[in-house]
Structure 1
């Protein structure tokens, strides 16, 4: 019966997906709510929250979350024109190079203040888990054409890259929490392993994969459908090769996608069609799993301190670092506020939570899940509800401003040629 209801949920959402496209009711909201409701029904029928909570540590659930993120990262990277992004890296460069580390620092300090017993390294683990953003939770934020291209590009690129960049920080925080981080040399070693090995593996797999796909397709060995399937298989291959040797499978997947895309994107513009569909379904199912097995059990142990931290994580923990990273840019206050608010927490945070919980004891796991689940749950709700109204209001302000002043004086008017829909291509975009 459970499988019937899940299938019916997906079919029902598919039937009204176009109608919901410009509403405040997003896919993550629908599937998270359905998961919570399903968990409550299980409880009413005699299944305890304790039983549900144990399931999040199941390998199958963790593999689902990891593979979903891996496929999305690889597919996103295939669609990126890295050369264009390098030329136009003004905003995402600041958000990633300054804003992300500051977000981790501020998040750690606030976690230690609100929960003094947490300690530095466990607080850092929570802060890193909640540092990556997921623009897909508020589609209108980066898809509304009335919003300046510079802003949409900055948020989109930040969302696509920050989960991979956060992986080494997570490894260091987890090692520190386990008393395995003794010196600066250890920190440097973790960075080199996580990033260096991942980059090498991603480069090799992406390059060889592109050569193999092009050769096979051009010689009539490969069908169009299997050409598209290769994106999924190469994404998983990057992860599977990097993870066992100590490299970040997520960074490897993203680097592999960049290299693969540079070789095949222009010749085969439909190369990601299959992976987009797969990622779309897997992402919605991941949010259903989040609602049922992570958020619902967490609701039973949430305290006012956890709720307070979740609210602060979505506001000042994000907004202060963003404001500091944008000093000297000349971007207007409303623009900085728009960028600061729209840093939703989504799939990457779920994957990071699962990664940490698998190796943690029961008490540590419960605390991490409670904080992470509450924050992501609030983000799904608040960023989903505010995406269209806030983007429309910001666009109204911007259009009014451009009508009153010389647009050449506005940094927001900087022209950008490449605005990738990172993390949206396979999840929220209507391909029809």
Structure 2
């Protein structure tokens, strides 16, 4: 394939992803679905015998590209969240109730359920089955835009939406957005546990190290670095004494990317989880001056970069599918993927949200239909590809080709199923919420 053809394909794909959201708002067709379809077609074209799209030949490239894509998305969703988390207020913590439930109940249950499927259905070794569960458990901030919050709410936009009768907060979208932002980092301890088991087993000393360092220490460092970076960047952007350093007044949105790279790099250097640091940094930066229009400017530049990275990843994923990525997929992989998307995640989400639920009339409360929606829309995506890439570049993993085929197939199933159902489901819930509000 010539350079001109590559540029042509990229340009047309970018055009499609730019135009599609504006012309298909009421159609069950998402940009990720279209991009994967384009990639499938492109993969059938002659690319040259020297180009390999097999994941085993591109482990480092896959890991770094998906890593940066997830990082950009984490910064975007963190900047978009409007709900305040005041660590000194119990009421504020309770308003995040569905997020804590999804993180502390749904995610471990999903890991356990997927691990059992990998061990019982697929016949994987326990360590490999655990790795499969950890890789597929986190929901994705990259491909879930249809069920996540939109742009950050600023004072001018809030006034316009209040005038139009638009609800400022949405517990469904908020819960799914915050879950995707936080669980991408919280999956790491289980990936590390699987790697420890693959490296030769785990005794009492290794178990203590895992709990003390990989679970507690690295999470705490990631959160601390992220919150500190968010506070410092927020002070510099909005409250610097020197007006020349006040980037919010200048409207320079690249500060968001500087914050992303700095928080991630700092967290990784001290041993913390960088994904958690980036999301926490974004939330901290967002809370520095919530109503300022600069928040939307930063979110816009991050969103555009995310769109470009998603374009690249999904095109390559589609191309790889027609060039051998699914060669090792069998009935076991199909069964694991369908069971995860249709049974394990919805059931785990329902258990977390429906048992002793928060009053639906309060912030963080969900009615039965909203519980079903949040439970179902656990989108799998780029994060799963990253975690598998990370694992296979750090340890020899048995059944690696089967894992790549199964994880890729799971992502495609999620893209198609959730892409088709997201628009009509959310429209129906929004319409019902509007009717309920009108009656109230």
TM-score using structure 2 length? 0.80
Length, aligned pairs only: 400
Distance in 2 separating the partners of 1:15 and 1:391: 21
| Residue 314 of structure 1: how far off its partner (Å) | 0.3
Cα distance in structure 1, aligned partners of 2:149 and 2:247: 33
CA offset at residue 333 of structure 1?
5.2
Q: Give the RMSD, CA atoms, in angstroms.
A: 3.2
**Any conservation in 2 of the 1:213–1:227 contact (CA below 8 Å)?**
no
Match of residue 158 from structure 2: none
2:221 aligned partner: 197
Q: Equivalents in 2 of 1:38, 1:392: separation in Å?
A: 33
Q: Secondary structure, in 3 states, of the residue corresponding to 1:320?
A: helix
1:247 maps to which of 272, 295, 301: 272
Paired position in structure 1 for 2:355? 327
Relative to 1, partners in 2 of residues 1:53 and 1:348: Cα closer, same or farther, differing over 3 Å?
closer
The reply on whether 1:134 has 2:145 as its aligned counterpart is no
Distance 1:217 1:41, change over 3 A: farther
Instruction: Name the counterpart of 1:372.
Output: 407
Mapped partners of 1:57, 1:375: distance in 2: 19
Distance 1:17 1:95, change over 3 A: closer
In structure 2, the gaps of 5 or more residues are 151-165, 360-365
1:104, distance to aligned residue in structure 2 (A)? 1.0
Q: Which residue of 2 aligns with 1:356?
A: 391
Alignment of 1:220 onto 2:220: no
Query: Structure 1 length as normaliser, TM-score?
Result: 0.81
1:258 alignment counterpart: 283
Equivalent residues in 2 for 1:67-146 (5 A)? 67-80=68-81, 81-83=84-86, 86-116=93-123, 118-134=124-140, 137=143, 139-142=145-148
Instruction: Write the mapping of 1:205-354 to structure 2, written as runs, cut at 5 A.
Output: 205-214=229-238, 219-221=243-245, 227-267=252-292, 268-269=294-295, 270-293=297-320, 296-325=323-352, 326-329=354-357, 334-354=369-389
The answer to whether the 8 A contact 2:77-2:141 is kept is: no
User: What is the alpha-carbon distance in structure 2 between the residues aligned to residue 274 and residue 2 of structure 1?
Assistant: 25
Is 2:70–2:383's contact at 8 Å kept on the other side of the alignment?
Answer: yes
Change (3 A) 1:154 1:212: closer
CA contact (8 A) 2:236 2:245 kept: no
Please state whether the residue corresponding to 2:298 is helix, strand or coil: coil
SS in 2 for 1:381: helix
CA–CA separation in structure 2 for the residues paired with 1:217 and 1:274: 26
Q: Which whole-Å CA distance do the structure 1 matches of 2:301 and 2:242 have between them?
A: 19
CA apart distance, 1:328: 2.6
Correspondence list, 1:421-432, <5 A: none
* Counterparts of 1:294 and 1:216, CA distance in 2: 50
Partners of 1:31 and 1:285 within 8 A in 2: no
Aligned to 1:416: none
Give the unaligned 5+ runs of structure 1: 408-432
Name which of 174, 189, 210 aligns with 1:187: 210
- The 1:259/1:361 distance shift into structure 2, 3 A limit, reads same
SS of the aligned residue for 1:133 comes to coil
For the 8 Å contact 1:26–1:138, the answer to whether it is kept is no
